[in-house]
């Protein structure tokens, strides 16, 4: 009965939706508007062609100069704008659909030769499109970044509305919180969200550095996210913005910059843009206008009718399924994922088993939250255990709001179910049902490593830390070299490293992991995923996650375990662990980076192991991926007192990774935290 009724419901629903889409096939659908401009590889002036350049902006020396340098004698109190020469659709006035978009660009902000003061910054903006008239208003220079005036700098309205991402280099007391920061502005110079970018010693981070920024807007979540890479540091800021409410349906997208009493040069090197709404800038004919008006009436009627029919069919199907009883109905309704075929080891759990195990996912059982969901403590019946048949488990519940949730879920089940190693968390089972996606792991009693390293009350001794380091190295060697395929983990960090009751390492969270045949080149990824501070800068440039990327993250974790310091502090003054340890290495005092609490006993063997671990950490985090060791080499260097240690450049901490100008239209999303 169940086998017959479920396909019948499916086919009836499918036919209903099919005819609905046939009737509506004249409705224009979303497509892609994209462009990519690399100014460093051309001598042709794009101003007046692809771009509109206004104010002080010109094309010079294979860059777009937004503010004056050599082409105007007086370089102070200037402003310039550049925007794409065609209006960009932001939302559809007929259907109400809002565009998602991603833009990526490389740029420089450098001090002009005739100036000793930095000011004021530049911005990427979306604003009303002006085809012929000037959009630069009097008084928009200095701290107004060429976007606002004295009359509207806190409450821009009407035609002056603007949403911008500012790269600020000067502290304006009336609205800025620091000299150097990235902020998201919504009709005001007071940023809705910001992150400081000042370096240690308050040196301007923008000097002599090409920066790469990615701005991504998700119309579904209304999240505007910004990633900025300067040298080997990645900054992230985001906020929620309803672009349909804040801006007109077509906009200009581009860049604006200004100078005041100080003077700096703002250079745009490369720019790409990709949107999910097609360009409809051509004026519609009277026929298309009439058709559009007809669709405004017809589409809602068709939608309501189709929804009513589909709803009735689903109600009939669900009513029939309920008559079959709950266990049988759940089996029919559960999604049959492709990855289930051929899985060995982990079992499939029913949703009601997980609710019983976790007390209906009670708050008191919550172990932690992360980028893709939450983890709950639970007890599950198991015939394999003698303790009254109960086993402690950790249930990972994937967020329904995460667009990447299913992809991570399937990757984690497919990969970790095939792996067997003493230093990997054991996957017991999974659940894929209408209520969501769930993974069931063994509960590792001591929790994650980060809670121990940064705990001032309980000290992890050096022998314990050394054991954890070797366990992590062993797990990565197995993943990279010893299994039949190469597994790139993709998110090595202390919160993904669990400790059992004897403080043995258990590496978990394989949601970003990828399988790669040995000796082959991995594919590029759509998103920059991982955790700020642990992400390989080369991955940010290439979008290609490799074993070298894991090695880089392993190196950062080594430095964190030995030093007890987090990799990045974005407070004032900013701190980067990697650069700090490099500088100590250059001064031949690398052991000073070790957690002082570990050196109170003065044990020579312990200190030798600490020093070796710090050097291996730098070796693994080498800015050139080709110079990094394999996990076999790293493990040998860590274990053997007689191992030959690499000789690293003492100036390495002053060098940054190369910034690629080949930007592609790739969305970027950086995950700041995760669990399990």
Which sequence positions are flagged as catalytic? 491
Q: Six-digit token pair at 34? A: 């994209």
Q: How many CB atoms lie within 10 A of CB 85?
A: 18
397 labeled part of a ligand binding site: yes
* Beta strands at 223-230 and 233-240: parallel, antiparallel or unpaired: antiparallel
CB contact at 8 A, 543 and 666: yes
**175-201 burial by CB neighbour count: b if 16+ within 10 A, else e?**
bbeebbbbbbbbbbbbbbbbbbbbbee
CB contact at 8 A, 358 and 351: no
Q: How many CB atoms lie within 10 A of CB 643?
A: 14
CB contact at 8 A, 416 and 343: no
* Beta strands at 347-348 and 427-433: parallel, antiparallel or unpaired: parallel
Helix (H) or strand (E) holding 227: strand 223-230
Q: Six-digit token pair at 274? A: 């990709």
Q: Which residues contact 474 (CB under 8 A, 6 or more apart)?
A: 421, 422, 423, 505, 635
**DSSP assignment string, 142-200:** GGGTTT--TTTSS---GGG-EEEEEEE-S--TTT-SSSSEEEEEESSSS-SEEEE-PPG
SS3 assignment, position 342: coil
Decide: residue 24, CB within 10 A, 0-12 exposed, 13-18 middle, 19+ buried. middle
d(CA 497, CA 489): 12
d(CA 237, CA 240): 11
Specify the residue for token string 């040995």: 518
Task: List, in sequence order, every beta strand (DSSP E) within 364-442.
Answer: 366-370, 373-381, 390-398, 427-433, 436-442
Q: Six-digit token pair at 520? A: 């082959």
CB contact at 8 A, 416 and 466: no
Is the N-terminal amide bond of 508 cis, ω within 30° of 0?
no
SS3 assignment, position 312: helix
Q: Helix axis angle, 326-333 relative to 2-23, nearest 10°?
A: 40
CB contact at 8 A, 119 and 93: no
Specify the residue for token string 């499918």: 14
Can you name the residues that pair with 438 across neighbouring β-strands? Answer: 397, 431
**566-585 burial by CB neighbour count: b if 16+ within 10 A, else e?**
ebbebeeebbbbbbbbbbbb
**C-alpha closest to that of 420 among 338, 346, 523, 524:** 346
Can you name the residues that pair with 54 across neighbouring β-strands? Answer: 81
DSSP state of 65: E
CB contact at 8 A, 129 and 154: no
Q: Which residues contact 225 (CB under 8 A, 6 or more apart)?
A: 215, 216, 217, 218, 236, 237, 238, 668, 669, 670
Annotated binding-site residue numbers for ATP: 397
- Residues annotated in a binding site: 397
């Amino acid at each position: 009965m169940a086998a017959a009724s479920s396909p019948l419901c499916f086919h009836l629903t499918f036919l209903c939706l099919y005819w609905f889409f046939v009737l509506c096939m004249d409705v224009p659908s979303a497509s892609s508007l994209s462009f990519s401009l690399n100014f460093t590889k051309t001598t042709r002036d794009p101003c007046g062609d692809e771009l509109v350049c206004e104010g002080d902006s010109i094309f010079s020396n294979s860059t777009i100069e937004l503010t004056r340098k050599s082409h105007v004698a007086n370089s102070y109190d200037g402003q310039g704008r550049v925007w794409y020469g065609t209006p960009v659709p932001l939302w559809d006035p007929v259907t109400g659909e809002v565009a998602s978009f991603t833009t990526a660009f490389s740029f420089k902000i450098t001090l002009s030769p005739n100036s000793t003061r930095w000011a004021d910054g530049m911005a990427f903006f979306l604003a009303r499109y002006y085809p012929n008239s000037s959009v630069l208003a009097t008084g928009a220079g200095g701290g107004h970044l060429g976007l606002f005036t004295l009359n509207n700098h806190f409450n821009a309205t009407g035609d002056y509305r603007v949403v911008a991402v500012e790269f600020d280099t000067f502290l304006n007391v009336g609205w800025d919180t620091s000299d150097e920061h990235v902020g998201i502005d919504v009709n005001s110079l007071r940023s809705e969200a910001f992150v400081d970018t000042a370096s240690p010693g308050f040196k301007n981070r923008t000097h002599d550095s090409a920066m790469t920024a990615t701005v991504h807007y998700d119309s579904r979540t209304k999240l505007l996210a910004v990633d900025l890479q300067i040298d080997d540091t990645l900054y992230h800021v985001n906020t929620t913005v309803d672009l349909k409410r804040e801006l007109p349906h077509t906009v200009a997208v581009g860049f604006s910059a200004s100078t005041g009493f100080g003077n700096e040069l703002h250079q745009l090197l490369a720019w790409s843009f990709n949107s999910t709404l097609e360009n409809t800038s051509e004026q519609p004919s009277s026929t298309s206008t009439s058709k559009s008006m007809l669709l405004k009436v017809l589409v809602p009627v068709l939608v309501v009718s189709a929804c009513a029919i589909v709803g009735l069919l689903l109600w009939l199907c669900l009513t029939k399924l309920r008559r079959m009883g709950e266990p049988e109905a759940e089996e029919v309704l559960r999604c049959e994922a492709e990855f289930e075929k051929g899985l060995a080891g982990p079992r499939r759990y029913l949703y009601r088993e997980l609710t019983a195990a976790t007390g209906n996912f009670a708050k008191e059982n919550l172990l932690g939250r992360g980028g893709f969901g939450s983890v709950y403590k639970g007890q599950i019946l198991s015939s394999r255990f003698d303790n009254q048949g109960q086993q402690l488990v950790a249930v990972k519940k994937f967020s329904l709001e995460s667009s990447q949730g299913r992809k991570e879920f399937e990757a984690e089940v497919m990969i970790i179910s095939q792996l067997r190693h003493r230093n990997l968390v054991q996957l017991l089972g999974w659940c894929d049902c209408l209520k969501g996606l769930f993974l069931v792991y063994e509960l590792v009693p001591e929790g994650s490593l980060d809670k121990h390293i940064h705990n001032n009350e309980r000290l992890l001794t050096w022998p314990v830390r050394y054991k954890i380091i070797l366990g992590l190295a062993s797990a990565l060697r197995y993943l990279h070299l010893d299994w039949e395929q190469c597994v790139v983990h993709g998110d090595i960090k202390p919160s993904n490293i669990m400790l059992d009751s004897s403080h043995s390492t258990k590496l978990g969270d394989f949601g970003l992991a990828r399988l790669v045949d040995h000796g082959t080149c991995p594919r590029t990824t759509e998103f920059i995923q991982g955790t700020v501070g642990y992400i390989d800068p080369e991955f940010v440039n290439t979008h290609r996650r490799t074993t070298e990327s894991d090695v880089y993250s392993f190196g950062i974790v080594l430095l964190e375990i030995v030093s007890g310091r987090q990799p990045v502090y974005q407070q004032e003054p900013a701190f980067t662990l990697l650069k700090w340890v490099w500088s100590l290495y250059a001064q031949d005092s690398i052991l000073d980076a070790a957690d002082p609490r570990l050196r109170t006993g003065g044990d020579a063997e312990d200190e030798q192991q600490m020093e070796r671990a710090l050097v291996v950490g730098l070796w693994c985090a080498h800015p050139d991926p080709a110079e990094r060791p394999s996990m076999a080499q790293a493990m040998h260097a860590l274990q053997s007192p007689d191992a030959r240690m690499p000789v690293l450049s003492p100036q390495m901490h002053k060098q940054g990774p190369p910034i690629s100008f080949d930007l592609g239209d790739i969305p970027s999303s950086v995950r700041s935290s995760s669990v399990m």
